[in-house]
Amino acid sequence: MKFISWNIDSLNAAVEHKSPRGELTWSVLEDIANQQPDVLAIQETKLKPNGLTKKQADALDELFPNYYRYLNYSTGRAGYSGTMMLSRQEPLSVEYPQISAPGEMDLEGRIITLEFEHTFVSTVYTPNSGDELARLDDRQAWDDAYRTYIQKLDQSKPVIFSGDLNVAHTEIDLKHPNTNHKNAGFTDEERTHFTSLLAAGFTDAFRFLNPDTEGVYTWWAQRSKTAKLNNSGWRIDYYLVSNRLEANISDFEVIDTGARHDHAPIKLTMDKKFEL
């Protein structure tokens, strides 16, 4: 069973694909569709609160026929954040939770959770701590609230959750750790909260299979023309699973996006014994 997760950085830019970057994004989305994941999670759709346009909906219907589609929009700021999930199997229920996060974070469409018979499958777009760490305190409150939410799900049935968690956990999860300790995504506070998330009963699927592997990243800065070329990246996109599912983890892959900077999709494969 295959699960794919990707921060797309604007669904509309992909569908329109009028710029070179948009064309690259559309090509990656076509590649994902060809792989026919059982569940696809998308972060940072940047859709407006009134939903998909007809063109966007038609494009998704063509790429992903016979998928069930669920979207969570930002109502706090239009055209910002947002998440989407596509599933080949209809879930028992769908939740767009608010987790008592600070400020407008609960209004930014950051979480979708699908409930199946044996498992919850969820996606999250974790808030960035921002320039000069202006949002770090709120980010820490988010991390605490989100951990509580996922733990509550886990008490009912196992969870598979994915997304842009906006943190590189350890020094081997980014190219230049020494110069980034006070930058968003690699502060001691963010890393400690990620450690607490794992300690709450969850497994980082990539690290489970590759405990010491270096140089595997999921994000390369758009501002740097050489970041992707030099593989100067960060691993900030994750699949995490309840510890009791770790034996079912079969494979993990960062999907190649060629010359496209920013986030790359990640793919989790669970073994034949696993059932939603």
Please pick, among 67, 73, 125, 238, the residue that the annotation labels catalytic.
125
Which alpha helices (DSSP H) does 102-187 contain, by range?
136-156
* CA-wise closest residue to 144 among 95, 186, 105, 114: 105
Binding-site positions: 7, 44, 164, 166, 262-263
- 164 part of the active site: yes
User: Pick the catalytic residue: 9, 164, 173, 237?
Assistant: 164
Residues 6 or more apart whose Cβ sits within 8 Å of residue 249? 203, 205, 208, 209, 241, 268, 269, 270, 271
Which of 247, 155, 245, 257 has its CA nearest to residue 200? 155
137 catalytic per annotation: no
**Maximum Cα–Cα distance across the chain:** 47
Q: Which of 17, 193, 261, 263 is catalytic?
A: 263
**Is 68 assigned a catalytic role?**
no
Q: Which residues are annotated as a binding site for Mg(2+)?
A: 7, 44, 164, 166, 262-263
- Is 218 in contact with 204 (CB distance < 8 Å)? no
Neighbours of 54 (CB within 10 A): 7
Residues 6+ apart with CB under 8 A from 134: none
- Active site amino acids: 125, 164, 263
